[in-house]
Amino acid sequence: MVTLVNLRAYWRFLLVFYQFSPLIVAYTRDRKRFVLFGRSRSVDAETRVRRAEVLLDSLLTLGPTFIKLGQLLSTRPDILPPEYVDVLSSLQDEVPPAEWADAQQVLHEDLGPVDEVFTDFDTEAISGASLGQVYLAEYDGEKVAVKVRRPGIEELVEADLRVIRWSLPLVQRFIGQGRAFSLENLADEFAKTIRQEMDYNREAEMLKEIQSNFEGNRDIRIPTVADDVSGPRVLTMEYLPGVKISDIQTLDEMGIDRTELAERLQRIYLQMIIDDGVFHADPHPGNLAVDDDGAVIFYDFGMSGRVDSFIQNKIVEFYIAVANQDIDSILDTLIEMGTLSPDADRQVMSDVMELAIADARGEDIEQYRVNQIIEQVESTIYEFPLRLPRNLALVLRVATVVEGVCVTLDENFDFISVATEYLTQEGYREETIKQVAGDVSDQLQSTSRSLVRVPPKLERVLDRVERENLTLNVRVDDKNGVFDKLAKRLAFAIFIAVGVLSSAILYAFGGSWEPAAVVAALTLPIGFLLYRSFRSKKGLRASPQFTRQNLKQRRNE
């Protein structure tokens, strides 16, 4: 049965296809220069920037859901090239507010008549976002901020989510396997995130939980929820005015130490992610303000998330490895989290990590070194696709945006040293050292037991070899059908040899060329098949038994 949501989705799909058709044609021509035939064509950075700007305009035209999607894509370098990420990073979640009459209808349905519920209500929205808008009001003698969900947004979002799901197979044709994996994860994550963001009951619960985790902490202020006048579509909170955290001039006039403010912000997020496991996931400057005492005010908890204990531990291990500049441990941690393919070229990745750490510490880096590493990465990037599992995507978004805010406050901000100091003060580094020492002790015990057990077993094996009573079971893994192809070639060769020999015998002893010609004619197709098997582009390809890194090591020995 065709529902109204489906009908709207079909219509939206046509609109989306129309908006993205120039990009679809361009990407198709990248694969085949003349669409149906021809070679693929290369695309330079300038072209990618132009296409990213076209994509940005299309997302803005398509409205709230696609604006949110663009914001999420701007934090996913595992899906989009850097030029797209840079352009989409400018996408702000700001759209004109809905008509007051529509918002009033939502308030009336959820809370009752506005004049009876609130002492005073300003009908001019102070901010308009893609999913909701905020008004100032007075309730119980206190000034409050009232967040109202956009009327009719639920149906639009559900229709757009279907369009995105239907579009995935088409988009995946233009990207690599690794990016296709990340794209599918992103679609699931985006659907979950945007539905959660529309549920103001969930936002209120997350806000209260984070507020309780920072109870008594004067470095952070979170508005208190007025439960009596809140619901799934309306959220009423304490109004906390402040200076936008990116307004550097006003902060300087207030006498705020911006370096200290940046450190305070990072410490707050480290506590949320590493200690508490629940965090505010939308830290752009519009959602962060500073009060007169220098405390950070947090707004809009619609985008928030949780971190499980496994990821928390791995994040701690990652930060400690970065602090110690232990590149091997950094790569091992990324692999364990599922962010980096185990088949990655570790030498290339080591160079990348060293460069990233030096850049984060504000060290001077020679340009030729940067160019050398970029060339390495560009030549091997598709061999080790960087992937972002669903439970890490929001954490990455937070880390990226928070670092941007901190650098705006202090261009020389050392993200690594602040994280290192925090982990040391909280005892994480000491705990990690104890854990490593325990692992080494266990390994030594295991090695000692092996030293006792192995010699007798080795002696028994040597005895069996001496008695010529040793049997080896060998299993050949032929996933690519190499043996099958070799067998076919051998059979073709035997048939051809028999055919040629038969033709020669018939011609030599029969005195007539007709029988020999018939046999030769029957042999020709087999010869053609043998020729084709050697000319095939696929050839005989087996799964590689050695990584590229191992081959490089052998070459250097």
What was the pLDDT predicted at 40?
75
What was the pLDDT predicted at 554?
44
Structure-derived torsion over alpha carbons of residues 299, 305, 307, 308, reported in degrees to the nearest 10: 140
For residues 37 and 49, give the distance between their C-alpha atoms in angstroms, rounded to a whole number.
26
Tokens 């070899």, residue located: 465
Q: Which residues contact 259 (CB under 8 A, 6 or more apart)?
A: 409, 410, 413
476-512 burial code (b ≥16 CB/10 A, e <16) = eeeeeeeeebeeeeeebeebbeebeebbeebbeeeee
What was the pLDDT predicted at 189?
79
Element (H, E) at 298: strand 296-298
CB-CB neighbours of 219 under 10 Å = 17
Cα angle: 375, vertex 365, 85; to 5 degrees: 55
364-379 burial code (b ≥16 CB/10 A, e <16) = eeeeeeeeebeebbee
Q: Using alpha carbons, select from 58, 10, 24 the residue that is nearest to residue 163.
A: 10
| Extents of the domains making up the chain | 1-93+156-196, 241-340+386-453, 482-535
What was the pLDDT predicted at 37?
67
Q: Using alpha carbons, select from 334, 311, 307, 309 the residue that is nearest to residue 322.
A: 334
* Residue 198 and residue 153 in contact, taking contact as beta carbons nearer than 8 Å: yes
CB-CB neighbours of 464 under 10 Å = 11
The whole-model pTM stands at: 0.67
497: left (phi over 0), alpha (psi -120 to 50) or beta: alpha
What was the pLDDT predicted at 320?
85
Which spans in 35-129 are helix H? 45-62, 64-73, 82-88, 100-111, 114-117
For residue 376, give both structure tokens.
């390495």
Q: How far is CA 100 from CA 50, 125, 315, 444, in A?
A: 38, 8, 45, 72
Q: Using alpha carbons, select from 310, 308, 237 the residue that is nearest to residue 277.
A: 308
DSSP structure string for 500-549? HHHHHHHHHHHS-HHHHHHHHHHHHHHHHHHHHHHH-SS-S----SS-HH
Q: Using alpha carbons, select from 76, 79, 139, 80 the residue that is nearest to residue 107.
A: 139
Helix (H, G, I), strand (E, B) or coil at 137: strand
Q: Which amino acid, 362?
A: G
For residue 196, give both structure tokens.
């959660």
Structure-derived torsion over alpha carbons of residues 526, 528, 530, 533, reported in degrees to the nearest 10: -140
What was the pLDDT predicted at 74?
78
Element (H, E) at 138: strand 132-139
For residue 359, give both structure tokens.
């850049």
For residues 219 and 289, give the distance between their C-alpha atoms in angstroms, rounded to a whole number.
12
Per-residue pLDDT of the chain (557 residues; tens, 9 = 90+): 446 567 778 888 888 888 888 887 887 777 766 666 667 777 788 888 888 889 888 888 888 888 888 887 876 766 777 788 888 877 766 667 778 898 999 999 999 999 999 999 999 988 877 788 899 999 989 999 999 998 888 888 999 998 888 887 777 666 655 565 567 767 777 888 889 889 999 999 999 999 999 999 999 999 999 999 999 999 999 999 999 998 999 999 999 999 999 999 999 999 999 999 999 988 888 889 999 999 999 998 988 888 888 888 888 888 888 878 888 888 888 888 877 777 777 777 787 777 777 766 666 555 544 455 445 444 444 444 456 666 677 787 788 788 888 888 998 888 878 888 888 888 875 655 445 444 445 555 555 555 555 566 566 656 655 555 555 555 655 555 666 677 777 777 777 777 777 777 766 666 666 776 766 777 777 777 777 766 655 554 444 433 444 444 444 55
What is the CB-side half-sphere exposure of residue 490 using CA atoms within 13 A?
A: 6
Q: How far is CA 133 from CA 95, 305, 519, in A?
A: 9, 22, 85
For residues 174 and 30, give the distance between their C-alpha atoms in angstroms, rounded to a whole number.
9
Q: Residue 149, exposed/middle/buried by CB under 10 A (0-12, 13-18, 19+)?
A: buried
What is the CB-side half-sphere exposure of residue 316 using CA atoms within 13 A?
A: 25
